[in-house]
Amino acid sequence: MPPRNATKAGWGPRLYPWPPPPVEPDLWVPSATSVLAVIDKPAIAGWKVKNVAKGAIAMHNNGSLAALVAQDEGMAEAALKNSWKTDLDAASAAGTLVHDRLEALIKGAPPPVMTPAAEQVFTRLQGLIRDYNVVFLHSECAVYGLTPGLEWAGTLDAIVEMDVPGRGRRCLVADLKTGKGVYDEACFQVGGAYSHADKLVTGDDGTIIDMPKVDGAVVFHVRQDFARVIPVAADDTAYAAFMAARTIWRIQHDKEWTAVFAPLPASSKGDER
């Protein structure tokens, strides 16, 4: 399911309008995920290289690489460059189906047609929901941070009430992830940004309310072979980390500010030498 109210032009950052539709927006603000893209992720570069190598071997073995080179070397190069996306696209498709199935369950809507892999993941998620007695208060809602000059937006998966062992019932921002791991960026996004939002757009009619007070943030990390709840930091440090990234994003996208200037004129002393 695409982020609520968001748009993206070309290869640029994902942007949200504020105020949201149907009101004419005063400004467009970057998504939390676009903001966090300023953080270097060296492990991803290695993963991409590995998958390109795997893709090249697969294309060589099935003969498609030689055929593409013979037809058009540019096409062959483009195919190799994009071969790292194969596993990502498959995982993304399954994750989208699980998100859509959960949203259908919450709203009592007809479920999407599921692949076997997505169905297995969703069955695990249903078990997690039962085990922790999860009640969904809001789902797939746009949230906005409105600090002047550092505005941002995002689409949170859910705000829930659930049993937390040793702590009783808690109100939490919850994010559903179906990838291999849960990384620091999840803390910055869910605990740093979403938990500290100023406004939430609830329902399909664009109703804007103050962000509900929450006790923290968790990730529902669900795969075919397990489901677990992972708490992430939602304190002032998490918020400061996200806003530091937001500040860098503003500097990088500020067309009025220059980081590197033109070279100095040649020195007259240099002409004399």
- pLDDT tens-place string over residues 95-127: 899 999 999 999 999 999 999 999 999 999 999
Give kind and range of the element (H or E) at residue 243: helix 236-253
- pLDDT tens-place string over residues 180-236: 889 888 999 999 999 999 999 987 677 999 999 999 999 999 999 999 999 999 999
Give kind and range of the element (H or E) at residue 174: strand 168-177
Q: At what angle do helices 85-107 and 42-61 cross, to 10 degrees?
A: 110
pLDDT of residue 23: 85
pLDDT at 60 over 80: no
Closest CA to 162 of 128, 186, 211, 193: 128
- For the ranges 124-138, 222-236, 256-270, the lowest mean pLDDT is seen at 256-270
Q: Which residues 6+ apart lie within 8 Å of 239 measured at CB?
A: 192, 193, 195, 196
Assessment of whether the complete model's pTM goes beyond 0.85: no
For 153, the token pair is 């937006």
- pLDDT tens-place string over residues 11-40: 578 999 999 988 899 999 999 999 999 986
Q: Which residues 6+ apart lie within 8 Å of 122 measured at CB?
A: 97, 98, 101, 102, 114
Q: Does residue 31 contact residue 15 with C-beta atoms inside 8 Å?
A: yes
Question: Hey, what's the torsion of the CAs at 90, 103, 136, 91, to 10 degrees?
Answer: 0
pLDDT of residue 88: 47
